[in-house]
Chain A
Amino acid sequence: MNPLAALFHRNSWNVFRRDFMAWQKYAFSSVAINIFEPMAWFLAIGFGLGAYLTLGKSSLVQFIAPGMLGLAALNAATFDACWGAYERLNFNGVYESMVTAPVDPLEIAAGEYLWQAFRATLYGAIFLVVIAAFGLVHSWWSLLSLPLLALCGVLFAMPGLAVAFLVKTQEHLFYYFSFVTTPMAMIGGVFFPLDKLPRWLQDIAWWTPLYHSVQIFRALVQGTPSIGLLWDLLWLVVAIALLAYVPVPFLRNKLAR
Chain B
Amino acid sequence: MSTNVAPAVEARDLTKRYGDFEAVRAIDFTIARQECFGFLGVNGAGKTSTMKMIYCRTTKTSGRLDVFGMDAAAHPREIKSRIGVVTQDNALDPELTAAENVMVYASFFGITGNAARAKCSALLRTMNLEGKERSRISELSGGMKRRVAIARALVNDPEMLVLDEPTTGLDPQARLAVWQQLLDFRARGITLVMTSHYMEEAARLCDRLVIMDEGRILAEGTPRTLIERFAAPEVLELIGVDLDAMRAPLDGLVRRQERHGEITYLYTDDNSALLARLAQAGISAAQHVARPATLEDVFLNLTGRELTE
Interface residues of A, Cβ cutoff 8 Å to B = 10-11, 14, 17-18, 21-22, 25, 92-94, 96-104, 255-257
Contacts A14-B104, A255-B57 given; indicate if A102 touches B93 (C-beta within 8 A). Answer: no
Instruction: Find out whether the CB atom of B110 lies under 8 angstroms from the CB atom of A25.
Output: no
Which residues of the partner chain B approach A94 to less than 8 Å between Cβ atoms? 91, 93, 95
7 contacts between A and B (CB under 8 A): A92-B95, A96-B87, A96-B91, A100-B85, A101-B80, A104-B77, A256-B59
Once bound together, how far apart are the Cα atoms of A169 and B89, in whole Å? Answer: 20
Check: B198 CB closer than 8 A to any chain A CB: no
- Which of A22, A97, A255 contacts B92, CB < 8 Å? A97
Q: B104's closest neighbor in chain A, by CB?
A: A18
Q: B78's closest neighbor in chain A, by CB?
A: A102
Instruction: Find out whether the CB atom of B57 lies under 8 angstroms from the CB atom of A17.
Output: no
Q: B100's closest neighbor in chain A, by CB?
A: A21
Instruction: Find out whether the CB atom of B108 lies under 8 angstroms from the CB atom of A22.
Output: no
Instruction: Find out whether the CB atom of A102 lies under 8 angstroms from the CB atom of B107.
Output: no
Once bound together, how far apart are the Cα atoms of A96 and B87, in whole Å? Answer: 9
Would you give the shortest CB distance from A69 to chain B, in whole angstroms?
Answer: 28
Instruction: Find out whether the CB atom of B108 lies under 8 angstroms from the CB atom of A101.
Output: yes
Once bound together, how far apart are the Cα atoms of A103 and B153, in whole Å? Answer: 14
Would you give the shortest CB distance from A109 to chain B, in whole angstroms?
Answer: 15
Instruction: Find out whether the CB atom of B18 lies under 8 angstroms from the CB atom of A257.
Output: yes
Instruction: Find out whether the CB atom of A256 lies under 8 angstroms from the CB atom of B57.
Output: yes
Which residues of the partner chain B approach A22 to less than 8 Å between Cβ atoms? 93, 95-96
Once bound together, how far apart are the Cα atoms of A97 and B77, in whole Å? Answer: 14
Instruction: Find out whether the CB atom of A102 lies under 8 angstroms from the CB atom of B96.
Output: no
Q: A95's closest neighbor in chain B, by CB?
A: B91
Q: A18's closest neighbor in chain B, by CB?
A: B104
Fill in one digit per residue for B130-164: 1 if any A CB lies within 8 Å of its CB, else 0: 00000000000000000000001100100000000
Would you give the shortest CB distance from B241 to chain A, in whole angstroms?
Answer: 50
Q: B90's closest neighbor in chain A, by CB?
A: A93
Check: B55 CB closer than 8 A to any chain A CB: yes
> Other than the known A94-B95, A100-B91, what 12 A-B pairs have Cβ atoms closer than 8 Å?
A92-B95, A93-B89, A93-B91, A96-B89, A97-B91, A97-B152, A98-B108, A100-B57, A102-B76, A102-B81, A104-B76, A104-B77
A-B pairs, top 4 by smallest CB distance, nearest first, are A93-B91, A101-B108, A22-B95, A100-B85
Instruction: Find out whether the CB atom of B55 lies under 8 angstroms from the CB atom of A100.
Output: yes
Instruction: Find out whether the CB atom of B107 lies under 8 angstroms from the CB atom of A92.
Output: no
Would you give the shortest CB distance from A110 to chain B, in whole angstroms?
Answer: 14
Instruction: Find out whether the CB atom of B96 lies under 8 angstroms from the CB atom of A101.
Output: no
Contacts A18-B96, A256-B58 given; indicate if A102 touches B108 (C-beta within 8 A). Answer: yes
Within 8 A of A (CB), among B43-100: 55, 57-59, 76-77, 80-81, 85, 87, 89-96, 100
Interface contacts (Cβ under 8 Å), in number, total 68
Fill in one digit per residue for B105-123: 1 if any A CB lies within 8 Å of its CB, else 0: 1011110000000000000
Q: B49's closest neighbor in chain A, by CB?
A: A257
Would you give the shortest CB distance from A121 to chain B, in whole angstroms?
Answer: 21
- Which of A11, A21, A96, A256 contacts B108, CB < 8 Å? A11
Which residues of the partner chain B approach A99 to less than 8 Å between Cβ atoms? 57
Instruction: Find out whether the CB atom of B104 lies under 8 angstroms from the CB atom of A102.
Output: no
Which residues of the partner chain A approach B58 to less than 8 Å between Cβ atoms? 256-257
Once bound together, how far apart are the Cα atoms of A11 and B89, in whole Å? Answer: 23
Which residues of the partner chain B approach A101 to less than 8 Å between Cβ atoms? 80, 105, 108-109, 156
Instruction: Find out whether the CB atom of B80 lies under 8 angstroms from the CB atom of A100.
Output: yes
Which residues of the partner chain B approach A256 to less than 8 Å between Cβ atoms? 57-59
Give the most central of A11, A18, A102, A103: most B CB within 10 Å.
A102
Instruction: Find out whether the CB atom of B92 lies under 8 angstroms from the CB atom of A21.
Output: no
Q: A256's closest neighbor in chain B, by CB?
A: B58
Instruction: Find out whether the CB atom of A21 lies under 8 angstroms from the CB atom of B96.
Output: yes
Which residues of the partner chain A approach B90 to less than 8 Å between Cβ atoms? 93
Once bound together, how far apart are the Cα atoms of A14 and B152, in whole Å? Answer: 16
Once bound together, how far apart are the Cα atoms of A257 and B59, in whole Å? Answer: 9
Instruction: Find out whether the CB atom of B93 lies under 8 angstroms from the CB atom of A14.
Output: no
Give the most central of B85, B93, B108, B153: most A CB within 10 Å.
B108
Which residues of the partner chain B approach A17 to less than 8 Å between Cβ atoms? 104, 107
Contacts A11-B108, A17-B104, A256-B59 given; indicate if A102 touches B80 (C-beta within 8 A). Answer: yes
Contacts A99-B57, A100-B85, A256-B57 given; indicate if A93 touches B109 (C-beta within 8 A). Answer: no
Which residues of the partner chain B approach A10 to less than 8 Å between Cβ atoms? 110
Once bound together, how far apart are the Cα atoms of A104 and B57, in whole Å? Answer: 10
Q: B94's closest neighbor in chain A, by CB?
A: A92
Which residues of the partner chain A approach B95 to less than 8 Å between Cβ atoms? 21-22, 25, 92, 94
Instruction: Find out whether the CB atom of B105 lies under 8 angstroms from the CB atom of A97.
Output: yes
Once bound together, how far apart are the Cα atoms of A163 and B238, in whole Å? Answer: 60
Would you give the shortest CB distance from A43 to chain B, in whole angstroms?
Answer: 33
Once bound together, how far apart are the Cα atoms of A158 and B92, in whole Å? Answer: 26
Would you give the shortest CB distance from A253 to chain B, in whole angstroms?
Answer: 10
Which residues of the partner chain B approach A102 to less than 8 Å between Cβ atoms? 76-77, 80-81, 108-109
